[in-house]
Chain A
Amino acid sequence: MTVSTADRPLLEVKGLAMHFPISEGIVLSRKVGEVKAVDGIDFAIGRGETLGLVGESGCGKTTTGRCILRLERPTAGQILFDGQDVSRLSSSELVGLRRRMQVIFQDPYSSLNPRMKVGDIVAEPIKVHGVEHNPARRRTRVDDLLAMCGLDPKFADRYPHEMSGGQRQRVGIARALALEPEFIVCDEAVSALDVSIQAQVVNLLEDLREKLGLTYLFIAHDLSVVRHLCQRVAVMYLGRIVEMAASDELFDHPLHPYTQALLSAVPIPDPRVEAGRTFRPPRGEVPSPINPPTGCVFHPRCPMAVEACKRTRPGLRELRPGHWVACDEVH
């Protein structure tokens, strides 16, 4: 038993699907369709590992994170956290789980209560979960958490609006760490920050991962940050994972036509490199997840699509060691 605990991944997602109903009518509301936000995905995250989840708006990356945190109850599939199926836990069982998994949101402006002092914001989870009842010891703990996140303990007496964006995001991180979680979902955690501040927070997340042995699911649309911070990366498109591999492998040898299009669209901050790149943006826009295309969801925009792509949905295949691709046209 102990052996298998150490071996198995901290998080396993199997066949996860989240379909949101679309209803019409106010009084006699009836379901007229559904948005397939997440449509059958599988992945695992090992202890101490950071998995990047990337894709454009509406690809289902945020919904995936919300299902793992049980902020949504998935339509189908299993989410095994340390062997326990998160999607089937009762609300009392969830309390224990929430101490072990936490979240850092994108917008430090709207995710912190503007009427609470920073010290109270960070202390709240400690209080709610009854971890430390003694106010003086709680205060010491808050000071330690702030210091760990690079903030002077004097910030405990300030309000969020008195701080800069980068400082506020540090408060959000300190709060997420308050219950000593093992696993953190970072949902666009550095996206709203200015360029000069972003690198500071990325370094902080890396230091904390090392020091506290944290496991991250890093959801982001900025591919350069993902390459830097994640050991492995999964690319999502219209509710499905189209490619998954080790970070450098994925960015140096992208195999799926969507991943290739996505990477070529990202401008590199170097005019010499840009001058030498041939670049053709993918045609069209992402189709609606209400009526996703049949077969491979990327086929209407894909330069490699053949007849068969309209009919069969490609599954993930391991084309190189650890490199999974959902495209039947790459070999």
Chain B
Amino acid sequence: MPPLLEVKELHTEFRTGAGLVRAVDGVSYTVEHGETVAVVGESGSGKSVGALSILRLIADPPGRITAGEILFDGRDLLRLSETEMRKVRGRDIGMVFQEPMTSLNPVLTIGRQITETLEEHQGADRGTAERRALELLEMVGIADPRRRLRQYPHQLSGGMRQRVMIAIALACNPKLIIADEPTTALDVTIQAQILELMKSLTRKLGVAQIIITHNLGVVARYASRVNVMYAGRIVEAGPAEVIYHRPRHPYTMALLRSVPRLDRPRQARLDPVEGQPPDLTRLDGGCAFRPRCRFAIERCGEMRPPLEATSDPGHLAACFRSAELVAEEVAA
């Protein structure tokens, strides 16, 4: 079976006052049916723009998808008309964003926001849509769903609003859900509830997920495969187990070393990634991580290291020295 989603050499650019920003600069990856892939990176790494590009939600101007293919279920989404694309969004691909308060319509009831999706995409009549909306709210664990259907977003807590977003995302039985920092705005116990909910529902319904996050703990708990992004490119990709225990890119290694861990006693000092994040308007032809890298050599300034297979199956790293960086077992 071909993968559910295949992103090939995707390029998305933004024209800004400071210059051209290649926010996504040649990104390729796949998502299989039913699997959870995490995209990890810091601000400006291109992780969110990459996801919005799949949905073609990049505002033009200033942004533009300039090259690449996004094969979803056999069709190239970049070649669809806007009308066809609207049918894909919300029906075949569900979306969950960071801030449920801004992605829900404040003047529509919760019930109407769910039934609207069902009527639009499935041609359901009002009665059927309302019954399904009730079912969905129950499924995402909202207590007293009948009352909640008649309420407005501001009457719900942050955790409940995110449950509603998940209900809307799942309303039309999508094949893929894209979740962009779905729990970043939530408290840690609510974050855990929401992530457990997404995990159990996507498993039960066989929905694939792309989770975009900066939280390395969330990735370790929920993703089977991980793409690590830096300055618009995937610098390392592979099974979560390999990425966390046998990373081969100096950025991934440094990132994992820099986070304090709750399961370990206090250590003397943290080991930070030195330097500042890159200025995307001033990238040269070399490796973007080079100025902060303790392994950088002359060659790193001459050209960008391609994403290449390592000795671990399914594991890719974009570093000229990845073969030498074996010994470092980051986590115990």
Contact = CB atoms under 8 A, between A and B. Distances in A.
Asked if A and B bind, the verdict is yes
Interface residues of A, number: 45
Contacts of A225: 260
Interface string B207-250: 00000001111111110000000000000000011001100000
Contact of B272 (A57, A199, A285): A199
Contact of A274 (B220, B270, B276): B220
Interface string A51-72: 0000011000000000000000
B269 A206 contact: yes
Interface stretch (B5-13, B58-66, B73-81, B183-191): B183-191
Interface residues of B, number: 47
A199 B222 CA distance: 24
B223 to A, nearest CB: 8
B186 to A, nearest CB: 9
B240 A164 contact: no
Contact of B187 (A166, A202, A221, A270): A221
B277 A281 contact: no
Contact of B262 (A199, A227, A272): A227
A302 interface: no
A56 B189 contact: yes
Interface stretch (B28-36, B122-130, B251-259): B251-259
Contact of B220 (A206, A262, A271): A271
Interface string A200-237: 10110010000000000000010111011000000000
Contact of A268 (B196, B222, B261): B261
Contact of B266 (A221, A223, A227): A227
A251 B191 CA distance: 20
Between A247, A266, A271, A272, the greatest number of chain B beta carbons within 10 A of the residue's beta carbon is seen for A271
17 contacts: A56-B189, A194-B43, A196-B42, A196-B258, A198-B258, A199-B271, A224-B260, A224-B262, A225-B260, A227-B260, A251-B262, A268-B220, A268-B261, A271-B220, A271-B241, A272-B331, A274-B217
Interface of B: 42-43, 157, 159-160, 187-193, 196, 214-222, 240-241, 244-245, 254-256, 258-263, 265-267, 269-274, 276-277, 331
Interface of A: 56-57, 164-167, 194-200, 202-203, 206, 221, 223-225, 227-228, 247-248, 251-252, 261-274, 279, 281-282, 285-286
Given A195-B258, A225-B260, A271-B245, 18 more contacts: A56-B188, A56-B190, A195-B216, A196-B258, A198-B259, A198-B272, A199-B270, A200-B274, A224-B259, A227-B260, A247-B266, A248-B265, A265-B189, A268-B262, A269-B261, A270-B261, A274-B220, A285-B157
